Structure 1
Amino acid sequence: MSIADIGEFGLISRVVARLENGPKVLLGPGDDGAVVAAPDGRVVASTDVLVEGRHFRRDWCSAADIGHRAAAANLADIAAMGAEPTALLVAFCAPPDLDADWAEELAAGLSAEAALVGASVVGGDMSSSPTLTIAVTALGDLGGRPPVRRGGAQPGEILAIAGRTGHAAAGYTILSRGFRTPKALVEAYRRPQVPYGAGPVAAAHGATAMIDVSDGLLQDLGHIADASLVAIDVHSAAFEVPSQMRDAASALGLDPLQWLLAGGEDHALAATFPAGEPLPAGWAEIGRVYDGTGITVDRKPWSGPVGWDHFR
């Protein structure tokens, strides 16, 4: 059955039935608004949008995959502020002839990814649209800590990363060339493995600046450098190239370092920490902060791509 067959409210009923409310949800879907606990008294909020043909393709990903990706893109932003995600609000715009089962599977993927961090999908909106579009707003709680912003890095500090980079970009390239293997890289594109817990851990260990690596490591580090009025150097030797990535890059005639440094959508977290202190568990040093401006790799300008820009 299509969405048109069951109607807006029939679809809402079917989707809501696929959602589970976690302990932080005081009032879930069904009223004009949801009520979510915010013990800290401050709410971290972030929004992201996915448009078919720009952010995802249904022939590359299942509906559940797209749900996981949509939730991850927002939950990672909350973690990058040092907060713990609590809830998601989802706006869903779709052609009337879309299969209703696809929409239900999307909701299941959104809910499953949110459940990884104890968050819930608590509401949203639906509309008919010629272009399938998913807009997600995430909410989070700081747990009594100050938010970790982009503008706190200082010269002499350590640059560190939690999670992985390059895997989703490699998977995207493989799919765009018409291949479906190596499976591990393709699956990394379909469902990011986000180190959500590393954000609050970094905040508790004195991280001075932090960001979600969504558009490419070098590009996103540029946001920290600009906000902090510092220069950042990345050590290429800090990145291990997995054998499957190396083999795929060789077969495609590409440099895997470009995936690692400029590929996005793995949603690793990058942060700066004071020197002389051990890094928290799950974090690895990949560079340093210096006086100056801009981003370098091994103390030299980087001539390759730096990341994704929607309008370039």
Structure 2
Amino acid sequence: MTKSQKVSELGERSLINALSRSFKNSKNPDLFIGPGEDDCAVLDISETEYLVVTTDMLHRKTDFPLQMTPWQIGWMSSAVNFSDVASTGARPIGFLSSLGMSPDTDVSFVEEICKGMADCAKMCGTSVIGGDIDTHDELTINGTALGKVKKSQLLTRRGAQVGDKVCVTGFAGSAGAALHALFNGIDVPDSLLNTLFEPYPRIAEGQKLAESGAVTCMMDTSDGLALSLHDLADLNGVGFSIYEESIPVHDDIRNHVTDDPDELLNFAMYTGGDFELLFTVSPGMLEEAQSACYLTVIGDVVEQVVGTNITRGDGVNLSINRKGYLQL
């Protein structure tokens, strides 16, 4: 990173890596996984458990479409953080939030935001435990979620092995398709819109997968399936072979947005906001993972030299581009 570069030129991933280096020399005997290394920071708090902590900042202009209700804004603000907690297999134990808003904001609007936060936290088995408020030119919400996990069950982005199965929860591309529909005036059912407005953090699935002992690495897909695959490939020194026909795409997209195979693949691979779990499973323990939660096997972990590729329905192999949703 040079002094002449703008943050937009460097990009989100590179900026995080550069800034994380500023903290590498900090001595913290309680820190097990630190800045920039995973979805959550991990702190050693006892002989048997870790504390996981994550934070995320959202803005009116870039993160909350105008069609969202204040309750949905609050829900999303919690959900994006709890999704990171889910990716570690941890049990949520609290949520904090700082809200920045213009002085002329209706109190009822803010109350509905807080109700959405609280309802999401309750669904995740915990509660809002504190926060802060301030005036700001644009609605800005910063959330912090905490969780606890047994040391023997902690899941991280590292651990994938050649031969492992690549799996996902839920569907791919639904939130991206919903956003596309909003921008283009396409009438779609609420069930599709709510994948964007009310993302569902896979807390229960994360914990059950952690308990199964079958998962070798895991992260959430908030930035898109393709970018998440590349993140895991880089960290683990592996490649991925994905099969297009195995990627779960909801019928709402085909029925209301597009049935074009290329557009469907673009939604599934390169749009973010789904907050599903992407994980690898030891091939001999696939049944244990399937017993833990509903999942779809979408490919295999392969040698790094093979790269990260997808086999189309016609048998053609293509490289998966390193792109997805980025905040900068």
Structure 2-normalised TM-score?
Answer: 0.78
Listed as ranges, the gaps of 5+ residues in structure 1 are: 1-37
Determine the structure 1 residue equivalent to 2:270.
262
Determine the structure 2 residue equivalent to 1:156.
163
Structure 1 305/143 Cα, relative in aligned 2: closer, same or farther at 3 Å?
A: closer
Which has the larger helix fraction? 2
Structure 1 292/305 Cα, relative in aligned 2: closer, same or farther at 3 Å?
A: closer
Structure 1 303/201 Cα, relative in aligned 2: closer, same or farther at 3 Å?
A: closer
Contact 1:233/1:297, CA 8 A, preserved across alignment: yes
Contact 2:98/2:131, CA 8 A, preserved across alignment: yes
Q: Deviations over 1:54-111 (max 9, x none)?
A: 1113x21001111111111000100101111111110100000111101000000001
Where 2:56 maps in the other structure, the secondary structure is strand
Deviation at 1:303, TM superposition (A): 6.0
Letter in 1 for 2:107: A
Which of 143, 148, 160 is 1:141 aligned to?
Answer: 148
Where 1:172 maps in the other structure, the secondary structure is helix
Which of 99, 105, 111 is 1:92 aligned to?
Answer: 99
Determine the structure 1 residue equivalent to 2:119.
112
Contact 2:165/2:282, CA 8 A, preserved across alignment: yes
Structure 1 253/197 Cα, relative in aligned 2: closer, same or farther at 3 Å?
A: closer
Determine the structure 1 residue equivalent to 2:28.
none
1:310 pairs with 2:317: no
Q: Deviations over 1:183-231 (max 9, x none)?
A: 2211211111332211111112221100011010110111111111110
Q: Deviations over 1:226-264 (max 9, x none)?
A: 111110121111124433211333389971121112222
Query: More deviation in 249-258 or 150-159?
Result: 249-258
Contact 1:84/1:143, CA 8 A, preserved across alignment: no
Structure 1 137/224 Cα, relative in aligned 2: closer, same or farther at 3 Å?
A: same
Contact 1:47/1:135, CA 8 A, preserved across alignment: yes
Determine the structure 1 residue equivalent to 2:245.
237
Identity of aligned residues (%): 28
Deviation at 1:117, TM superposition (A): 1.6
Structure 1-normalised TM-score?
Answer: 0.82
Contact 2:221/2:278, CA 8 A, preserved across alignment: yes
Name the CA distance, whole Å, in 2 between partners of 1:101 and 1:124: 18
Listed as ranges, the gaps of 5+ residues in structure 2 are: 1-44
Determine the structure 2 residue equivalent to 1:289.
301
Query: More deviation in 189-198 or 48-57?
Result: 189-198
Determine the structure 2 residue equivalent to 1:6.
none
Structure 1 304/230 Cα, relative in aligned 2: closer, same or farther at 3 Å?
A: closer
Deviation at 1:181, TM superposition (A): 2.3
> Residues 141-290 of structure 1: matches in 2 within 5 Å?
141-206=148-213, 207-250=215-258, 255-277=263-285, 278=287, 279-280=289-290, 281-290=293-302
Determine the structure 1 residue equivalent to 2:8.
none
Determine the structure 1 residue equivalent to 2:85.
78
Query: More deviation in 199-208 or 222-231?
Result: 199-208
Deviation at 1:176, TM superposition (A): 1.3
Name the CA distance, whole Å, in 1 between partners of 2:173 and 2:60: 22
Name the CA distance, whole Å, in 2 between partners of 1:252 and 1:240: 15
Letter in 1 for 2:317: K
Structure 1 288/74 Cα, relative in aligned 2: closer, same or farther at 3 Å?
A: same
State the number of aligned residues: 273
Which of 41, 59, 62 is 1:54 aligned to?
Answer: 62
1:103 pairs with 2:139: no
Deviation at 1:148, TM superposition (A): 1.0
Query: More deviation in 233-242 or 158-167?
Result: 233-242
Determine the structure 2 residue equivalent to 1:15.
none
Determine the structure 2 residue equivalent to 1:301.
318
Letter in 2 for 1:84: R
